[in-house]
Amino acid sequence: MSTSVPAPFDFASLPFEEKLDRFAKVAVHVGLNLQAGQELLISASIEMLPLVRRITEHAYKAGALLVTTFYGDDETVLARYKYAQDASFDHAAQWMADGIAAAFKSGAARLALAGSNPALLAGQDPAKVSRANIAGSKANKPAMELITRHAINWSILAAATPAWAKLVFPGLEEKEAVAKLWDAIFIASRATSEDPVAAWKAHSKHLHERVAYLNAKRFHSLRFHSADGETDLTVGLADDHLWAGGGGEAGNGVFCNANIPTEECFTTPHKDRVNGKVKASKPLSHQGTLIENIQCVFEGGKIVSARATAGEDVLNRLISTDEGARRLGEVALVPHSSPIAQSGVLFWNTLFDENAASHIALGQAYATCLKEGEHMDEAALAALGANSSLIHVDWMIGSGQMDVDGLAADGSSEPLMRKGEWV
């Protein structure tokens, strides 16, 4: 009597529609862990409609009470910059921002789909782009505070779009570039295994073990120093800081994975204890502009010098958003062996590129990365060193040539990473 051995699971051979359906399940059951009776708010580009439809289907199958999607469109965004009156750029739809904040307060989950054209606004007036970003940030601050406090289950993942795909793979025809970008997204998002939910549980367990190690050490600061000498930065850590990474339980009791993909362990720096020089290891795509070769000098926690070989004007407008925009709200450690780094793909998208390298973030700190931080007001958080700002922008500083040491309060040091890898 012979027995047949099941063929190994072959994600690559699946029809695209089935791949997309499996990815939608990852969004609902891994990213959000959507609960029966919850409302869901989705933000997406109209080019992402096929994925949104599948996510909506799986959300209702999971028991969603109502799914509402806010769609964006590149052409209508550009129309504003071409034809709107000047006052438009200091205005935001406050009524909509208030409604979104109200939905979050009432328990709605939030899903954002990334993937719009990273260079959309590259040819527009940087002053208008900056003004529009500030107006939008002010309007959305109440909603974003609930996100940074991790009060609800939320998640961000990506969808391939033609403009983005052509930027990532400029040598390919559009159709081939889109297909290749989708494959890269599926792989980076761990959607290619036979059981993605189990794969994500195992990945979160690994990250949680690393987080537990870092929390037990209680380092006073981290020192980043690169082999080429371009980076020598000491990042003080906030008092009572907590490291985080992998999935976590939101304030509403739901375990979710906020970023898909994720490879980072991150915490809150002390806003006044960052000193030294740092050079970005990857370009930053910010609000439609590509900022390349960022170099900054920090003194007493604050950027005192900022340069870039491309997009420098946008960079300087960004760090002038408010007082907190020149200070750090996050520091994260990512090994150079990250699957995203090893793919060799520059995604021009922070959701992916931040998981290819250790990074820092300008602006708002995460309250959940402080002991009892989610229960503190802004003054109490600031007293521990947490930064406050309208922005939160990550940029990459790690590489295969970066060493990282953990420094104790007495100045003694311990190696954490050598040549971009955990010791």
In angstroms, rounded to a whole number, what is the distance separating the alpha carbons of residues 375 and 371?
Answer: 9
Instruction: Record the tokens describing residue 378, joined without a space.
Output: 């802004």
For tokens 């970005």, the residue is: 280
Provide the strand spans (E) within 163-283. Answer: 221-226, 232-237, 248-249, 255-256, 265-267, 269-279
pLDDT the model gives residue 123: 86
Query: Cβ contacts of residue 221 below 8 Å, gap of 6+?
Result: 234, 235, 236, 237, 273, 406, 407
Q: Give the C-alpha separation, 271 to 364, whole Å.
A: 10
pLDDT for the residue numbered 66: 98
Identify the bridge partners of residue 111 per DSSP, sorted by sequence position.
42, 155
First to last CA, the chain: 52
DSSP state letters, 310-371: BSHHHHHHHTTSSGGGGSEEEEEE--TT-HHHHHT---S-HHHHTTSS-EEEEEPPPGGGBT
298: exposed, middle or buried (Cβ count in 10 Å: 0-12, 13-18, 19+):
buried
Asked if 360 contacts 393 with a C-beta cutoff of 8 angstroms, the reply is: no
Q: Which of 350, 340, 363 is nearest to 396 (CA)?
A: 350
As a whole number of angstroms, the distance between CA 118 and CA 131 comes to 18
Q: How many helices (H) and strands (E) does the chain have?
A: 12, 20
Question: Sheet of 39-45: strands edge to edge?
Answer: 66-72, 39-45, 109-114, 154-158
Non-local (6+) Cβ contacts of 226 within 8 A are 232, 279, 399, 401, 402, 403
Contact 255, 200 (CB under 8 A): no
pLDDT tens across 13-41, in order?
Answer: 999 999 999 999 999 999 999 999 999 99
**Which domains can be identified in the chain, with CATH numbers?**
15-189 (3.40.1830.10), 218-248+257-422 (no CATH)
CA pair distance 196, 192, nearest whole angstrom: 7
Contact (CB, 8 A) for 92 and 138: yes
Return the residue matching tokens 């991150």.
266
Helix (H, G, I), strand (E, B) or coil at 237: strand
pLDDT of residue 257: 95
Residue 176 DSSP SS3: helix
pLDDT in tens, 220-279: 999 999 999 999 999 999 999 999 999 999 999 999 999 999 999 999 999 999 999 999
pLDDT at 2 (0 to 100): 45
3-state secondary structure of 397: coil
Q: What does the H/E/C string look like for 117-150?
A: CCCCCCCCCHHHHHHHHHHHHHHHHHHHHHHHCC
Nearest residue to 248 via CA among 157, 368, 394, 393: 368
Residue for token digits 């359906």? Answer: 21
The residue whose two tokens read 């129309």 is: 79
Query: Which stretches of the chain drop beneath a pLDDT of 50?
Result: 1-2
Residue 9 has what pLDDT?
87
User: Tokens 């998981």 belong to which residue?
Assistant: 355
Task: Round to whole Å and give the CA distance between 391 and 394.
Answer: 10
State residue 268's pLDDT score: 97
Counting beta carbons within 10 angstroms of the beta carbon of residue 10, is it exposed (0 to 12), middle (13 to 18) or buried (19 or more)?
exposed
Assigned token pair, 118: 């990273």
Amino acid at 231: T
Q: Which helix (H) or strand (E) holds 197?
A: helix 196-217
For 46-139, list the strands marked E by DSSP: 66-72, 109-114
Structure tokens at 408: 């104790």
> Alpha-carbon Rg of the chain, whole angstroms?
21
Reported as type and span, the H/E element at residue 167 is: helix 162-168
